[in-house]
Amino acid sequence: MTPNRLKHLLREGQPTCGTFLSLCSPLAAEIMGMLGFDWLLVDMEHGAGDYQTLLGQLQAIRAAGDSVPLVRVQWNDPVVVKRVLDAGAMGVMIPGVRSVAEAHQGVLATRYPPAGVRGMANVRATRFGLDPDYYAEANENIAVFMQIENGDAVRHIEDILKVPGID
């Protein structure tokens, strides 16, 4: 599995630079991927894209440079998280997290058992089964970010940040 450079930078306490992509365009994603950003986040929460436009953007980001491809999913739904990770995202941003339980649910969706609930399949993320290290490394390699967007979450932020697996 390709090491997640963003997670390494965060662990080292280094600042990172990235931007959101909402044009649903593989060409725009490719151009942005050539500019040297540490990460690029495809916005599926408010963007007009679907899984087909996401796939083209993830392919373009990975082909263009070293930017880590992330996706802001539509909601804290394990099925949605699984699909974007299977398509090749190296991390997710989960919007609308309000509680410790919701943060924990989001992390579980990104992890394979026994650490989580993500289902296994030989899909694009695993190089269609050709990456022998993917399953062993994915749990520690996938980046997970939570969006804190309301008063309940702000009141519980200290406890939310204690959930293991949040980057």
Burial of 70 (0-12, 13-18, 19+ CB in 10 A): buried
Which helix (H) or strand (E) segment holds residue 67: the answer is: none
**What is the number of other CB atoms lying within 10 angstroms of the CB of residue 161?**
12
**Helix 78-87 vs helix 51-64: angle between axes, to the nearest 10 degrees?**
40
Known catalytic residues?
Answer: 46
Q: Structure tokens of 76?
A: 């804290």
d(CA 95, CA 74): 7
Q: Structure tokens of 26?
A: 């593989």
Q: Prior bond to 26 cis, omega within 30? A: no
Quote the DSSP letter at residue 120.
P
Quote the DSSP letter at residue 126.
G
